[in-house]
Structure 1
Amino acid sequence: MDRNEQVDRLLSKLSLREKIGQMLLCGLPGRELTEPLADFFRANPVGGIIYFARNVQHVGQVANLTYELQKVAQSANQLPHFISIDQEGGMVARIAEGITLFPGNMAIAAAGSTEDAYEAAFASGKELQALGINLNFAPVLDVNNNPLNPVIGVRSFGESPEVVAEYGANSIRGLQDAGVSAAAKHFPGHGDTAADSHLDLPVVPHDLTRMNQVELVPFIKAIDEGVDFIMSAHIYFPLLESDRKPATLSSSVLTGLLRQELGYQGVIMTDCMEMSAIVDTYGTVEASVMAIEAGADLILISHTHDLLTGAYEAIEKAVAEGRISEDRINESVRRLLDLKIKRGIMTEQGDFPAHTVTLPVIDREGLPARVGVQEHQDLARKISERSITLVRDEAGMLPLKKVRTLVVTVASSAMTIADEIIKDPCSLGTALIEQGFDVVHMSIPAAGVAEEATHVLEAARQAEVEQIIIATYNAHFYEEQSGLVKQLYALGKPLTVVATRNPYDLASFPEVQVYVAAYESRPLTMESIAKALLGLIPFQGTLPVSLGDEEKSNPTHV
């Protein structure tokens, strides 16, 4: 029996409610599958689960949670779940400890090898698979050509559509070769916005001609690559949609553009339907119906189970009233069932599909095997070290001289809901000390720069301090940070600025003579920065974006 026949047989056995459930993907409130929560899922069969940091204690717990979720579905004679996560790498990773945390997209592009994109995605996919996670909401295929974009930035491979397309395609291939579905996002493009759709409805004024030249290039490549999922963006494109609807709710975007013009045959899924761009316009429940009408196959409701049950009821009612045909529901469920069979999540045996539910493989230390292995750690370190980018050294400061140095680290902070707050912020000063360098180091919160500026300047003025390093974190969004950099520069002592997230910080203080871009502030990155500053490794990174007339990206660097 071929896969199409299997899908048809499975579909014929599902009730309408079960089919609607396959089109819903939801979150969990905590780290355990409590009995009331298990009862909820027995009564409300869903197509999948999404993990957030709130669901993660350690990798062993994640593996067991996955096992328990799939066992409950199996015992209730339900179809197995897509178990999904946003494990992009870099600053957006729901699991940050115990697993190999790879550099993010812009860092990988800066390192300059599309093979790195494949290898990182393949290794990450193998580790996710070991935890029972079979769907990763990655890669980000947005072309970040707007320095004021508050939500994409370093999550993008850069500003060149061709570079984003090549790196994205390799990431998709790596994940799916590892047996994990990839979800390219955020269609038709979230790169050229100055608003965050978690908080507002961004408007992008581009027409289809411009989008075919920029925003759609990576998605067309992803379709050619056979990406399993494409996630829609909650962004309004007035030249593509006459009504004020975000792309997620637009039939002209999802069906007309993505299905018909671009020929995509995979699963179209929504971004979270609890984001403000949806809640403040149509509301989660009504928008869930509208998304299906527009052409979406899978509806993501990440947080609130009351909204999930509301969506169930609203979709059932829409079918009963003829607003949505059952054939339309079947069309989406066929795609979802086909993928579950294709990716080995279930196999049809006997009267109903058999779950591939197995206990996680545990090593001698009681942790999931094949997760965080040395080979993968070495790969992450290699990419990280090659990503550190020397943008300019007009003062000839680097490598650093072995003199008394003040190192100021602006701690990372969550820019958007997509980010995860680092529990124990890492310091560039600490990383330099670990390399045996003599520093006075100060770490200040991104939101507390103004309060700490006086203390920083006092430390910088001390006679024994001969040079200064400041690690900024999105200073181009924070006037207090850029103001502090300018005050340090005005002291006349040799100053090095290291951007530990978006490289666009330089625009806020163009007079700075020594500038390094590092793209993220994870511990591994801080270690790589320290090594490069001290001359222990060469600067090898290339800017994936432009920083004005002098500092250009290299769009052919693929």
Structure 2
Amino acid sequence: MSLGPIMLDIEGTELNADDVRRLQHPLVGGVILFRRNYQSPAQLKALTASIHALRQPPLLISVDHEGGRVQRFRDGFTRIPPMRELGNIWDRNPKKARQLAELAGWVLAAELRAHGVDFSFTPVLDIDFGSSGVIGDRAFHRKTEAIAELAQSLMAGLKHGGMAAVGKHFPGHGFVAADSHTEIPVDERLFSQIEQDDLEPFRRMIDAGMVALMPAHVIYPKVDGKPAGFSSIWLQQVLRKHLGFHGMIFSDDLAMEGATVAGNVTQRALAALNAGCDMVLVCNRPELADELLDTLQWKMPALSMARLARMHGKPHPPTTDELHEDPEFVMALQQVASIGIVEGDLQLTDG
């Protein structure tokens, strides 16, 4: 059974009958994990093994594990700083910031791969214009040069750790104040303004070999009346043709408020897939997942299947014990711990 175009979440710390039923559906191709799915390193490893055992080829397993306030697994995992901290270091010492970004990417990826996770939806390539609370310190910087340099370094570290990078939120979520989880954000800028600022980090990452990306649930009415993730103008004309991106496109969560403009969940999925997404996400709404699995009719293009295959993590990753016996990795942990982190929130932990 080949992988399908839908990525779903699961309910708890182990698979239940409903999870298994959904994940064995031919339209499903991946799983996204959340904090509720994590209890301990051993439990996570058992959970991912049970998910991978369900299908052949195995389902992709992903997580939002950026660092800072968006890090799903904490106890037993190294606390990764918010990317803003790397931007702050870049202001003083760009070379050191790039080195630390690469080490942070390595630690992040290696620990996730040691527990069976294929990839994380990171890095955030949005510009911090100072207006978006939902982005905020998840962004590296206000300057596109800093974002591009640090994101490329982080991507190199992720690759070293055995996973691909997923840049988000194309073409840029940092300018609007509205949170697309709860509202429908509208960015009134001209394309020329977006191209000059927001697109530059994406362009640089694409040129550096980024293989996956997630568009924003933001409407840019001067370009298209549809949110970027449902827009063939943004995904086909701008991203594919103008920027030359040939990698994987994941929709943002179709259960978010910013996606409701496209209709019911099946209409949203079709809008995203027809616009150019390879895989669509439906999270935290099991009734919507069931509705979509019951009603969606979609034949997975061969090109999308090939893109999905590249998202599997590098096979045979080192175990946690093996990582901690590697002097270079131990040094990387120490370096990541040295990053200016808010005390009591993002301290280094063993694991």
TM-score (norm 2): 0.89
- For structure 1, list consecutive stretches of 5 or more residues without a partner in the other structure: 1-13, 320-325, 346-355, 386-517, 526-558
Residue matched to 2:40: 58
Equivalent of residue 182 in structure 2, options 184, 199, 204: 199
CA contact (8 A) 1:384 1:524 kept: no
Residue matched to 2:168: 185
Secondary structure at the aligned position of 2:102 is classed as: helix
Secondary structure at the aligned position of 1:185 is classed as: strand
* Alpha-carbon distance change, 523 to 383 in structure 1, aligned in 2, over 3 angstroms: closer
Equivalent of residue 41 in structure 1, options 23, 39, 58: 23
| Match runs of 1:221-260 below 5 Å | 221-241=204-224, 244-260=225-241
| Offset of residue 284 of structure 1 | 2.4
| Offset of residue 179 of structure 1 | 1.2
CA contact (8 A) 2:114 2:320 kept: no
| Offset of residue 209 of structure 1 | 1.4
| Offset of residue 383 of structure 1 | 1.5
Equivalent of residue 332 in structure 1, options 279, 295, 304: 304
| Offset of residue 361 of structure 1 | 4.4
CA contact (8 A) 1:47 1:79 kept: no
| Match runs of 1:15-414 below 5 Å | 18=2, 21-44=3-26, 46-73=28-55, 78-112=56-90, 113-145=97-129, 147-241=130-224, 244-279=225-260, 281-316=262-297, 319=298, 326=299, 329-340=301-312, 343-344=313-314, 361=319, 363=321, 370=324, 374-384=330-340
TM-score (norm 1): 0.57
Secondary structure at the aligned position of 1:84 is classed as: strand
Comparing 210-219 with 271-280, which one deviates more in the overlay? Answer: 271-280
Q: Among the aligned pairs, what percent are the same residue?
A: 30
CA contact (8 A) 1:285 1:311 kept: yes
Secondary structure at the aligned position of 1:72 is classed as: coil
Letter in 1 for 2:340: S
- For structure 2, list consecutive stretches of 5 or more residues without a partner in the other structure: 91-96
| Offset of residue 331 of structure 1 | 2.9
| Offset of residue 160 of structure 1 | 0.7
| Offset of residue 265 of structure 1 | 0.5
| Offset of residue 281 of structure 1 | 4.8
Distance 1:362 1:188 in 2: 36
| Deviation digits for residues 81-112 of structure 1 (CA, Å, limit 9, x no counterpart) | 21101111111100111111121100111123
* Alpha-carbon distance change, 371 to 72 in structure 1, aligned in 2, over 3 angstroms: farther
* Alpha-carbon distance change, 69 to 24 in structure 1, aligned in 2, over 3 angstroms: same
Distance 1:43 1:22 in 2: 8
Distance 1:124 1:344 in 2: 14
Distance 1:370 1:205 in 2: 49
Letter in 1 for 2:149: E
CA contact (8 A) 1:130 1:370 kept: no
Which runs of at least 4 in structure 1 moved beyond 3 Å after TM superposition?
312-315, 360-363, 368-377
| Offset of residue 34 of structure 1 | 2.3
Distance 1:234 1:39 in 2: 29
| Deviation digits for residues 178-231 of structure 1 (CA, Å, limit 9, x no counterpart) | 211211000000010110000111111122211221000100011012112100
Q: Between Structure 1 and Structure 2, how many residues are aligned?
A: 340
Distance 1:134 1:339 in 2: 7
* Alpha-carbon distance change, 107 to 305 in structure 1, aligned in 2, over 3 angstroms: same
Distance 2:325 2:198 in 1: 35
Letter in 2 for 1:303: N
Structure number with greater Rg is 1
| Offset of residue 313 of structure 1 | 4.3
Q: Cα RMSD over matched residues?
A: 2.5
CA contact (8 A) 1:141 1:168 kept: yes
